Structures are given as C-alpha cells and as structure tokens.
Amino acid sequence: MTQNDRPSPEALLRAAAQEGRGRLKVFLGAAPGVGKTWEMLTEGHQRRDAGVDVVVGVVETHGRRETEALVQGHEVIPRRNVEHKGHSLGEMDIDAILARAPALVLVDELAHTNAPGSRHPKRYQDVEELLDAGIDVYSAINIQHVESLNDVVASFTRVRVRETVPDFVLEQAEIEVVDIPPDELIERLKDGKVYIPREATRALGHFFSKTNLTALRELALRRAAQAVDAQMLEHVRANALAGSFAVGERIVVAVSELPHAAGLVRAGKRMADALRAPWTAVHIETQRHRQFTGEERRQLADTLALATRLGASTASIPATDVVEGLRQFAREARATQIVIGKSSRTWWFEMRHGSVVDRLVRSVGDVAVHVLPSGEAAVPGRKTRHRRRGHWGNPADYLWSLLMVAAMAVIGRLLLEALDLGNIALLFLIPVMFAAATFGLRAGLFAGLASSLAYNFFFLPPTGTLTVSNPENVISILVLLGVAVVTSQFAARVRAQADLAGSSARQNAALASFSRQLTAAVTREELMQAICAEVSRLLDVRAVLLLPSADGPVLAAALPPEDRLEQIERAAAQWAMENDQSAGRGSATLTASDWLFNPLRSSAASGRGVLGVLGIARTDAADPLRSDQLPLLMSLLDQASIAFDRLTLEEENLRAQAVGERDRLRSALLSSVSHDLRTPLTTILTAAKEMRQHPSGELAEAIETEALRLNRFVANLLDMARVEAGALPMKPEPTDLFDAVAGAAHDTRAALHGHAVQLDIPPDVPLVRVDPVLLHHCLINLLDNAGRYADPGTPILIRGRRVPDMLLLSVIDQGPGIPLGQEKRVFETFTRLEGSDRVRHGTGLGLAIVKGFAEAMGLSVAASNNEDPPGACFTIRIPDALILKSFEGNFEDRDVP
C-alpha cells in the first residue's frame, strides 16, 4: 500500500477517539422562531416511536402552544433548582440524566449560560459530559451564537450576543439547518408566534429586519456547508478514498522565491473571498532550495508572511520534484483549484527542463489550474542566477570523483590478465555510483564521462589514444556511458530523497523536543525561559519574550540573558502585540528594527487575544529568519502559544479555586460565628439578668461554662490562624503519652459529661519527642469531638498500639461513625458532618486544628470507622524517628472519670 492509498493516521485517531461517545446533532437556525425546537421535538418523537429511549433534558417553549404540545408524550427529567440572589433558577439536572442513562436526550438552547453554582458554567459543557457518557444528544442553536461568527453578526445587526458556543462543538456535530424564508418568519413574528406583541413590534424594527434575516440565513447555510465539507473530508481521509470531492471549493496557491509570487497570493485571496473557500499557500522545497541567495530567501519568507496576514494557511513541503510535490499536496488537501505562476523562459531552457505548468496540468486530473503570467522579463535574471559561483558544486567533489576513476583504472590494469574487457567496464560503475550518491547528479555525470574516457584510453585498443579500432567497442563505450548516466540519476534521486527525509525527521525531532521542554515547565518563568532557549537553539538566533502590560511590552525572558531592547525594538513589539501581526526586520512593518517580533496567539476558544510576542535576531545583524526556517518557526509559535494558554488556564483555575475556597471559608466562618458566638452570649446575658434579680450558684456555673465555651471558640480561631500562617512555636521534649491523655481528659470533663474515658495503652509504650502543648491541644479537640458525637452514656476509648515503624494513638467514640468517603473531608476547615438523627453544634475547626498541629510536629492523623467497638476512630500516627526507644513505661489500663 502506498502513502497515497493508506488512510490518514490523524483521521483514524480522531475516529477512534469518538468510539464510545454519544452522537451530537445540532438543529441550526438563522434566528429565533424558525422552528428549531419544534423540529428537534418532532424528530425526538420519531426516534421514540422507532423504539429509542428518548427523554427531554431541558426544553424552552417560550409559551408557544404548538411547542408545548410536542413536549407532551416525552419523558421530561425534572429540573434542579439553583438559588441565586434570592431567586430559584431551574437548570438541567445532569446527574439525574446520567443516572437515568437514556439513549437520546433533547437539550434546548446549547449556548445557555448556567446559573452560578452549577457544575459547568455553560450548557454545551453539560452536553460534552453527556456525550462522554455515551448518550446521544439533540440540541438547538442560532447562528449568532457561534463564536467565530459573533463579530460578523454584530457588524450588521448592531447586536452583540454574549452567549456563544466554541466552533469545535459544531465541528464534531451533525448539523441540520432549520430554515424558513425571511418573509414567513416576519409573518410569524407579527402573529405573535415568536414573541409577545409588544416585544415583536420592537424586534421587527431592529434585529428582525428582512435584510438582517437574509444575511443570517446565508451565514447559517454557509456554516452548515463548511461543517458538512469538513466531515466529508475527515471520512474520505479515514477511508483513503480517491478524488477531490469538489462539493466545496479548496484553493492551493503555489508560491516560489520570485517577486511575482506576492501577486499570486493576492490573486488567491481574491479567489478565496469570492468563493468563500479555505486556501493554502504552499512552497515546494526541492534540492534547488539550498542554492537560493539571501535575497531569494527573504523574498520567499515575505511571500509566505503575506499569505499568513491575508488569512491563508501556509506550508513548506519537501519533495524531489516541484510538480510531484504540488500534486501530492493537492491530493492530500483535496484541492479543487490550484493557482500557479508562469515565468518567461527561453525555448532552450524549456527544451532542457520542460515546463512545470504543462506537466502539472497533465498530472492533476480533475483539479482546475489557474495560470497567471509573471509579467516580468525573467530570463536575464535567471541567467545571472544560474551562472553564479558555486552553481556546479564544490570542486573537491569532482576531484574525488576523478581520483575514484583513476583508482578503478589502476585496479583494471592489475586485473587485465584475469578479466575480460566487459567485466573491467563494470568496475567503472563503482565511481559513478559513489559520486552520484555522495556528491549529487552533476558529479555523477562527470564521473560517468571520465569513466568512459578512461576505459577507452587505457583498455580499448589501440590503448593510449581515444581512437576506437573495433566498432563493437564503440557500443561498449556508449553502453557504459548510458548506464553511468542512468545510475547517476537514480543515485542522485535516492540521495535527494534521503536528504529531504532527513530534513523532515530533524524538524519533527526538533518539534518533539520543544514540546517536551514546554510540557516540563511548571511555572510561567520556567516556560518563558524554555521557549527562548529552545527557539534560540533550534533556529540559531537570539530570542526574547515580551508580555503585555499597562506601560507597554515588558521583557520577561531573554537568551542571552543580557539582551536588552532599544526604543525602536519596543515599538515593533508593541505594534505586533496590538495588531496580531509580525513586525520588525524581515516583515513589512518597522523594518529598521534588528529584531523580528511574532505574536503568540491564544486559542479561539479562550478569546484572550495576543498572549505575548517572541522576538528573534541574529548576532551578525542579518535577517533573523531564512525562508526554510519559516514553517519551523510557525510550528514553534503554535506550540508555545498552546503551552502559554495551558499555563494561563491552570493559573486562572487555581485562582478561581482559591477565590471559591475563600468564599466558602467566609460563609462558613460567618455561619459559625453567628451560631457559636450568639448561643453562649445569649445564655450568658440571660443568666446575668436572672442573677441580678435572684443570685444563684447554678446561674454562675452556667455563665462560667458558656464563657469557657466562648474562650475555646476564640482559641480555636487563633490556633487555626496560626496553622494557616505557619507560625506555630515548636518546643519538642520527651512526653509521657499517659500523662498527656489524662491531662486532656481532665480539661474536657465538662464536654465529656456522661461519658467514661477508657485507656487501653500497653505498659511498654515509650516516651515520644513532641511538643506537649500542641499534643495537648490535639487530644483536647479529639476528645471534645468524641463527646459531641458519641451515643449518650457510652464510654470513649483511647487506645495506644506499637506497630512497625510507628506508634498509633487512637480516640474511638461509640457514635454513628463517619459517612463513607468523607474520611479525609472531616479534616477540612469549617467542615461539619451532621448526623441523621441529631443536630451537632461546633465550629468545624477542631479536627482541622488537630491535622495542622500534628503535621507541624511531624505526625499525621487519619479518620476511619472502627468495628469493635463501633464508631468513629481518629488516629494520631507517631513515626519511629520521634519514639524514644530507651524508655520503658509502666502503664495500666484504667478508667478516667
């Protein structure tokens, strides 16, 4: 199977990624009221009647009776209520749909923004999760909600839609256009079938004008056609089908190093605009590319840069022949039209080399070829270029070829008595093949001619002359020369293909290395330095990276690090950043700068615009970029932009998580303060008022108890602040665990009222080196927690156990235990797991303090459910390094009242 016959690996990988995913079908309309929801519900009924399990996830009827009638008969998943600013908002219940697991779910208004607090901010993200679960989805959207068309729609409707859907969602969907003529839609609007009469009158005067509706209709049809064309091409590539499938136009513009190539690019742009077709500017890189002068390389780079600015994709394809490379690229791109220029050539040049245009027209089959004349007198210039020094290669190549021929002549003379002349002639093929494979075609041809002359001079009678006495020997010379020519061509072609393959492999390896370096960077500073270092290494340039700021571009990274920019360089960087185009030397703007600045663009989905600019320059002040390096630079810029986008998203996610955590802690703190301060304060105020009238010791005890509770609450807040600030004073010393447990039980006797404390600690448990004050606080909070959650009248067990590498000290209550899966969450700040049969008071700080204090001392703490006795078990783990092995304790099991 040849490369042209095999399926595209990328297409196969994308097809494999869709295996197991649900299918998305989008009903696309030009405007509200065209009947998208009605069509979606109708097709849902048809699928249900065919035996498919269909449910309605969310449908907006907007009070339309015919739409409401269609909802009847469908199973509707109830919406979940989300509280926001005092209002209850109904949103699609994605968890209920996943639990129901239908075959197909109907989800209206794909561009909808979910209420704050929902799992995903956008409804299309809910749909993505349903698709990942293998559930098919039908949805609906208007063309103005497509992200890439948002600006276009706003330009003529004067209405900018804020709710948009990224284009990739539609690219993976089957699209059905729901279309009605503008006049019919306007009649529906007047009849009140779209909006209520007052809103309908206002809409007719603004958004729903016939001109706007016609333009929106055309956009919807074109966008659907583009999606169908892209899906068709994906199927064609995945199945290796032949043909261009010209249902949609695709244009390829062939560019070269000649000045008139810029005119070809502009012509391709006009053609693409007229046909509304995607287009690509491609340069075929052959062996001749190595012979370009600096001016020719600069001209080619300018042409490709112009194509990029005009909106084209660019490519530089290595090939042994221009026609073969262009034909292969057009086949892979499924091009329907090729734009190529024809330079003025002499009849002698075309007789020797042929016409690229004529060969292309004969070989591309059903692809239309547009030939544009160059309009220049190219012959003198081309003669000058062909005559420049070094065109025939290095003289040393010919010297080595001649020495190889001489060596074969010497070997032939030595073997003359043992071999006949026919076999000796074969020896002279060795230098021909060596020269062609090592030095190229011209050196091979030279070796062939020299071999023929040497064979004639040294071996054919009369020897020592170039005269041939026997006519049969003339045939031998001609055959030898012909074989030498053919062998040279084949060997040179193989060498050229090997060079091109090596060049492609080196570029791929460079991109892979660049990607690895960027992936390894975990901070923005590391990423920026890695970008500069790799670009500098791969392109042999100096590199700087600038980021936008309120005061203009700021130098963020450079290689060499001491590089600084002058005022004109900063102006070029600012222009590149503001206009999203290249600027500086080698571009079309601010060419006085020694640096070339290229923007790093964010993805269209993120909408962040230009993330920064990358500047490159050469030490010798030459143009910073050669034409053959332009594709590599474009690939490096794309990968750098993706890495920047990834890191920016990660930083924003971390910031959002931090803000969410702060909001959660703030809400929890306010809730805790309002409860844990108000309750004891109310008790204290009431008791104080009663004591003023009837002094009582019982009331005084109540005041003392609640005051101690307040004091403990404030102490917990201060301790938590110290934990989060990392400002815990550490004074480790040998500590007796039994004394520590007894002291904590004594200090919590009020909280443990009605509960006996049982100690189960072996007598040989040694001392441990910890901070006794922090350990005391840990035990107090664990016992206080156990007293609140233990069943009334049940004892609380404190158990010590020596295991390999550590000592375990556990506090076990006999209560309802910890809900499954919440073992780690109980240690989070302000977390309170309420029991199902009773209400617990507390701040949710105690266990978080235990975890913070334990980690500060080098210990760890874990929560689990105990079996005997049943209840929650909190265990402090003391590592072997903190255990004093020389001490033998003398403990006995006892009850602490």
3 state SS of 163: coil
The pair of structure tokens assigned to 395 is 């003289």
CATH number at 698 reads: 1.10.287.130
CATH number at 167 reads: 3.40.50.300
- Does 255 lie in the same domain as 196? no
Domain end call among 697, 712, 727: 727
- Does 86 lie in the same domain as 233? yes
Taking the C-alpha atoms of residue 32 and residue 36, their distance in angstroms, rounded to an integer, is 8
- Does 876 lie in the same domain as 740? yes
- Does 28 lie in the same domain as 155? yes
| 141 vs 223, residue with greater confidence | 141
| 620 vs 546, residue with greater confidence | 546
Question: For position 127, what pLDDT does the model report?
Answer: 92
Q: Is the pLDDT of residue 570 over 70?
A: yes
Q: For residue 200, is it within any domain? A: yes
Q: What is the secondary structure of 506-552 as a DSSP string?
A: HHHHHHHHHHHHHHH--SHHHHHHHHHHHHHHHHTSEEEEEE--TTS
Closest-CA residue to 876 (of 788, 794, 771): 771
Question: For position 104, what pLDDT does the model report?
Answer: 94
Q: Is the pLDDT of residue 168 over 70?
A: yes
The mean per-residue pLDDT over the stretch 164-188 comes to 83
The mean per-residue pLDDT over the stretch 2-20 comes to 58
Question: For position 372, what pLDDT does the model report?
Answer: 86
Question: For position 380, what pLDDT does the model report?
Answer: 42
Domain end call among 207, 239, 271: 239
Query: What's the total number of domains in the chain?
Result: 5
Q: For residue 887, is it within any domain? A: no
- Does 750 lie in the same domain as 850? yes
Q: 248 pLDDT band (50/70/90 cuts)?
A: low
pLDDT in tens, 784-833: 888 888 888 899 999 988 888 889 999 998 888 888 878 888 888 766 66
- Does 372 lie in the same domain as 426? no
Domain end call among 172, 205, 239: 239
Number of alpha carbons in the 13 Å side-chain half-sphere of residue 686: 9
The mean per-residue pLDDT over the stretch 401-405 comes to 87
- Does 19 lie in the same domain as 92? yes
Q: Is the pLDDT of residue 196 over 70?
A: no
pLDDT in tens, 52-71: 999 999 998 877 777 888 88
Q: 5 pLDDT band (50/70/90 cuts)?
A: low
Q: For residue 522, is it within any domain? A: no
Q: Is the pLDDT of residue 890 over 70?
A: no
The proportion of the chain whose per-residue pLDDT surpasses 70, expressed as a percent, equals 74
Q: Which range is most confident: 119-123, 182-186, 638-642?
A: 119-123
- Does 488 lie in the same domain as 344? no
Indicate the average pLDDT of the chain. Answer: 77
Question: For position 896, what pLDDT does the model report?
Answer: 39
Question: For position 660, what pLDDT does the model report?
Answer: 66
| 564 vs 674, residue with greater confidence | 564
pLDDT in tens, 595-604: 888 888 776 5
Q: Is the pLDDT of residue 39 over 80?
A: yes
pLDDT in tens, 494-508: 766 666 666 666 666
The pair of structure tokens assigned to 740 is 């520590």
The proportion of the chain whose per-residue pLDDT surpasses 90, expressed as a percent, equals 8
- Does 173 lie in the same domain as 55? yes
> By the 8 A CB rule, do 440 and 492 touch?
yes
Give 152's contacts (C-beta < 8 A, 6+ positions apart). 219
Question: For position 874, what pLDDT does the model report?
Answer: 94
Q: For residue 568, is it within any domain? A: no
Q: For residue 204, is it within any domain? A: yes
Question: For position 379, what pLDDT does the model report?
Answer: 40
The mean per-residue pLDDT over the stretch 431-436 comes to 77
Q: Is the pLDDT of residue 607 over 70?
A: no
3 state SS of 468: coil
The mean per-residue pLDDT over the stretch 829-850 comes to 62
Taking the C-alpha atoms of residue 885 and residue 894, their distance in angstroms, rounded to an integer, is 24
- Among 34-43, 120-129, 236-245, the range scoring the smallest mean pLDDT is 236-245
Q: Is the pLDDT of residue 375 over 70?
A: no
Question: For position 388, what pLDDT does the model report?
Answer: 42
- Among 328-337, 359-368, 717-726, the range scoring the smallest mean pLDDT is 717-726
| Integer angstrom CA distances of residue 447 from 386, 452, 485, 578, 883 | 22, 9, 9, 58, 86
Q: Is the pLDDT of residue 480 over 70?
A: no
The mean per-residue pLDDT over the stretch 771-782 comes to 87
- Does 735 lie in the same domain as 723? no
CATH number at 361 reads: 3.40.50.620
The pTM of this model reads 0.44
Q: Which range is most confident: 560-569, 583-592, 731-740?
A: 731-740
- Among 37-51, 52-66, 629-643, the range scoring the smallest mean pLDDT is 629-643
Q: For residue 826, is it within any domain? A: yes
511 phi, psi to nearest 5 deg? -65, -40
Q: For residue 752, is it within any domain? A: yes
Q: 838 pLDDT band (50/70/90 cuts)?
A: very low
Q: 473 pLDDT band (50/70/90 cuts)?
A: low
Q: 862 pLDDT band (50/70/90 cuts)?
A: very high
The pair of structure tokens assigned to 710 is 């307040």
- Does 756 lie in the same domain as 674? no
Q: For residue 890, is it within any domain? A: no
Give 354's contacts (C-beta < 8 A, 6+ positions apart). none
Range of the domain at 304: 251-377
Q: Cite the beta strand spans of 23-135 per DSSP E.
A: 24-29, 54-58, 75-76, 80-84, 87-91, 104-107
- Does 175 lie in the same domain as 59? yes
